[in-house]
Structure 1
């Protein structure tokens, strides 16, 4: 209750700022006109009714922008205040209401920087652990990343203000269209879709199998815009926006109905599908400890896995990302059963794969699938590498860059997008943060050249780089939408948490803790069929981008 009270106090404070500064913000020519029309006793009465405030009115938009940024990151997964995401943009919309597009850009950028500094604070720990840099450069890295990702807010504020001012379009619709286009078009190292905050609201997120996660983002911003419109009309003493609110209520009702029907349908299909029993090992050994004692790391996985197979039948044992490194002359061959713990069970595990290619040894961050005798059934090399952690951009051209960051790996980018075959079942495998990229997973779900559409999705991760922060939960929340988008079970195995099984409806049905030693066993459905999103991709994002460009040009 204390947390909720704190949130409500923040909302009341913003309401106070609205009442004080709505018609008196700097450069508010419309407000000045209103005040000139209200001369006389009524104006004096209004002036007496306004609470005194020490801050100059010109600062209020900037305070509102900062407040919007704070509300935004408090709504992220891991902070567990998803409801704040439905109002987080209201202060920013008020701040840019009568600003020039250029000033709106600045205000939006401030909100974005605050949101990403608060929501991505774990970047400091990652840079320190992953790249081996000090706290000061790591903090600078966070600020640079926040400024880059904050451009989504800046572009949204600029385009929303420009289109609403010049084209006269309704902010209720302009705002979500612009934001959705910005999320689609702006490249981010760590994408953080606004809609991911709603991962627990299963009934409300099922339409992601049509629109992808961008549709949920659209809905969240649409809610913000509608709430803002209600407040704007009230403070301007104009009629209640009945049409806008009724439309929003109708859209929400339709989406809830769709969610109810789809969950029932997907649950029925899941119950009828063939099942496999999978076992995940979370040894709770951080990256630093693994590096210092790789033998211990491997031994713990063997022992824990043996405990799994000795107690129940397991169809697949899963180890997390980069459990050990191995030198191979080719991608064929076998591991000795003793090396893998003599489990006599098919396994999927992460490894640093070093291959001789053209007389040069190349390193890959890979996943390897073996059968019950240790024979390699297939490998997958990570395609989306982490900049400055797994490679340095332009490092192949300017090799000296690696001497400036000696802890950075020199992995090669993978090329094979085909699924791996577990018996008769094609499965999709991704590594680390690849599962937060909808486009990358959609590519992997196309089935490769032979169009063998995967029946389940697996992800091997190591989130220990981020320490005891909210990042693992943010990662899982973002990844969970891949299950809805493709109606497949998502199995995530991590070193230190959060390992999880996400069902085809996007519900996290099993999960581990953070920094805990656990084994997770679950039955997963091997699903078939294609969704609208799997076929059409981010059509909503492209459509929104087209509308925005039309509004700007026309």
Structure 2
């Protein structure tokens, strides 16, 4: 009995391991097609309350393994001792992992009470929770498939949530076919046929869209962009900021002498600068570089009665004149600000390593000649709605031709985080059909094409320059116009399904309804073939 009770939790742990090993960074993407099978098995005979705990166990293991780098981040970024940083990881994993617990509870509740088929119930609920669940570091399941461009092109219709939907659908369909065979020795053809049909449609759409976008790229005007990666960590600017600037300058001048550049891009937070509210003027230190530069700065904004610090990107022309600025608006909690710190300023004295930045308010693109540049800073590029908002083109609605992101990933050490960050960001290219240029101080700096493919990149913790010809595209996508319609639809469906299940439970209806195979109508969960037999 003890072993029997432990087996579901062992299966839940196995699902969590498959989850993080299959995710971006570890890059065993095929494991995400089956990572839910152990959890489906674990909850098949459970009541919804037990399913919640099992799902939470899977989520806790998956997020603790996938976000292991959070310990180092808390140590370096916030100055926390190792035990406290480890507790921070555990708290973050518990909060994010609860999503999977709620998912397992809802799936089990709905299938148990209504006997609706898990093949469509599971992906609908997952997508609703990915859209609804608040996370400090969003980690959409669909990002695990970034290496499969034919599979991910649907993101220009339904965003990365659509790819997450597809991954859970694959898991649920495979589970339905598997249990149909194991429990009744018959092939359940409906979920198998649905899986084949969906994959054919998705892959066919992907192939057509890739060809179409490649034709647009071939006909587009291109900009020659140089990326500077000095391999200097985030703390270098505190120890010797002048040396950090000089190294970026030297690498920029050397690169410009080798080949002409339309723009050179530096990472986040390289220089400190004070500007008036007008943001106009010249930065003499950039006048001798002979190339336009987009660079990250810690901006001291001097107003009539107050001063504010912002995480800013600045675009200067070859003479050092400021062409435009963008202030980061999605700030990192406990790194760039402390929640409720404005109300309780004393909180900042408890965390002396935490910066006190003010969020930006403008979403206007920057202009370089006739081209419009959308700029984001740090982890803003993993928030689909934020980039979608920036790509609207500000007050005039002139959509940018290309996207830039200035990042500092050195806080995470030599871990899987830089690759995970890049994989998540690559979906912004598909959703908006624009090239994405990302530059970091320690890697991974990269250029992502409008199909979402990483066409060129640097290493991690390497000193490199990278030059690429980047297409200037126009037009928009269904996702750029309408956003997460799939997510909102799944939220409505989930609320309705849970309401129906709870209503049936109050009326005393429902059966064992294990998530698994389906009867001929494809909507009702199948009862196990031999309920009276003992399990061995």
- Scaled by the length of structure 1, the TM-score of the pair is 0.89
Aligned counterparts of 2:143 and 2:235: Cα–Cα separation in 1: 30
Matched, 1:175 2:122: yes
Aligned counterparts of 2:349 and 2:283: Cα–Cα separation in 1: 37
Cα deviations by residue, 1:17-48 (Å, 9 ceiling, x for unpaired):
xxxxxxxxx8xxxxxxxxxxxxxxxxxxxxxx
Aligned counterparts of 1:126 and 1:357: Cα–Cα separation in 2: 33
Cα deviations by residue, 1:430-460 (Å, 9 ceiling, x for unpaired):
0000000001111111111110101100000
Q: 2:218 aligns with which of 266, 271, 276?
A: 271
Q: How does 1:94-133 map to 2 (within 5 A)?
A: 94-133=41-80
Q: How does 1:511-526 map to 2 (within 5 A)?
A: 511-526=457-472
- 3-state SS in 2 of match to 1:472: helix
Give the CA deviation at 1:135.
Answer: 0.6
Higher RCO (C-alpha under 8 Å, 6+ residues apart): 2
Cα deviations by residue, 1:217-247 (Å, 9 ceiling, x for unpaired):
0111111111111221122124211111111
Does the aligned pair in 1 maintain the 2:288–2:318 contact within 8 Å? no
- 3-state SS in 1 of match to 2:397: coil
Cα deviations by residue, 1:65-121 (Å, 9 ceiling, x for unpaired):
110000000011111211111111111111111211111111111110100000000
Does the aligned pair in 2 maintain the 1:331–1:379 contact within 8 Å? no
Question: Which ranges of structure 1 fall in alignment gaps of 5 or more residues?
Answer: 1-25, 27-54
Does the aligned pair in 2 maintain the 1:430–1:460 contact within 8 Å? yes
Q: 1:333 aligns with which of 263, 280, 283?
A: 280
Q: How does 1:219-368 map to 2 (within 5 A)?
A: 219-337=166-284, 339-340=285-286, 342-368=288-314
Give the CA deviation at 1:341.
Answer: 6.3
Give the CA deviation at 1:425.
Answer: 1.2
Matched, 1:422 2:371: no
Matched, 1:458 2:404: yes
- 3-state SS in 2 of match to 1:169: coil
Q: 2:414 aligns with which of 462, 468, 474?
A: 468
Question: Which ranges of structure 2 fall in alignment gaps of 5 or more residues?
Answer: 501-536
Aligned counterparts of 1:475 and 1:190: Cα–Cα separation in 2: 10
Give the CA deviation at 1:197.
Answer: 0.6
Aligned residue number for residue 456 of structure 2 = 510
Give the CA deviation at 1:547.
Answer: 0.9
Aligned counterparts of 2:118 and 2:304: Cα–Cα separation in 1: 58
Cα deviations by residue, 1:523-554 (Å, 9 ceiling, x for unpaired):
00010001000011001111111111111112
> How has the CA–CA distance of structure 1 residues 553 and 336 changed in structure 2, closer, same or farther, with 3 Å as cutoff?
closer
Superposition CA RMSD, Å? 1.1
Matched, 1:75 2:7: no
Aligned residue number for residue 19 of structure 1 = none
Matched, 1:390 2:336: yes
Aligned residue number for residue 23 of structure 1 = none
Q: 1:92 aligns with which of 32, 36, 39?
A: 39
Aligned counterparts of 2:23 and 2:356: Cα–Cα separation in 1: 32
Q: 2:101 aligns with which of 154, 169, 175?
A: 154
Aligned counterparts of 2:223 and 2:68: Cα–Cα separation in 1: 38
- 3-state SS in 1 of match to 2:150: helix
Cα deviations by residue, 1:133-179 (Å, 9 ceiling, x for unpaired):
11111111101110111121011101111111112110111111110
- 3-state SS in 1 of match to 2:258: coil
Aligned counterparts of 1:277 and 1:358: Cα–Cα separation in 2: 40
- 3-state SS in 1 of match to 2:286: coil
Cα deviations by residue, 1:466-501 (Å, 9 ceiling, x for unpaired):
001010000000000000000000000000000000
Aligned residue number for residue 402 of structure 1 = 348
Aligned counterparts of 2:474 and 2:34: Cα–Cα separation in 1: 38
Does the aligned pair in 1 maintain the 2:151–2:206 contact within 8 Å? yes
Q: 1:536 aligns with which of 473, 476, 482?
A: 482
Cα deviations by residue, 1:335-391 (Å, 9 ceiling, x for unpaired):
344x12611211100000001234211000000111121111111110100000000
For structure 1, which segment, 383-392 or 237-246, has the greater mean C-alpha deviation from structure 2 after superposition? Answer: 237-246
Give the CA deviation at 1:58.
Answer: 0.7
Does the aligned pair in 1 maintain the 2:223–2:471 contact within 8 Å? yes
- 3-state SS in 2 of match to 1:287: coil
Does the aligned pair in 1 maintain the 2:283–2:322 contact within 8 Å? no
Does the aligned pair in 2 maintain the 1:302–1:341 contact within 8 Å? no
Aligned counterparts of 2:116 and 2:304: Cα–Cα separation in 1: 60
- Scaled by the length of structure 2, the TM-score of the pair is 0.92
Aligned counterparts of 2:303 and 2:51: Cα–Cα separation in 1: 53
Aligned counterparts of 2:320 and 2:102: Cα–Cα separation in 1: 52
Aligned counterparts of 2:113 and 2:318: Cα–Cα separation in 1: 66
Aligned counterparts of 2:404 and 2:324: Cα–Cα separation in 1: 14
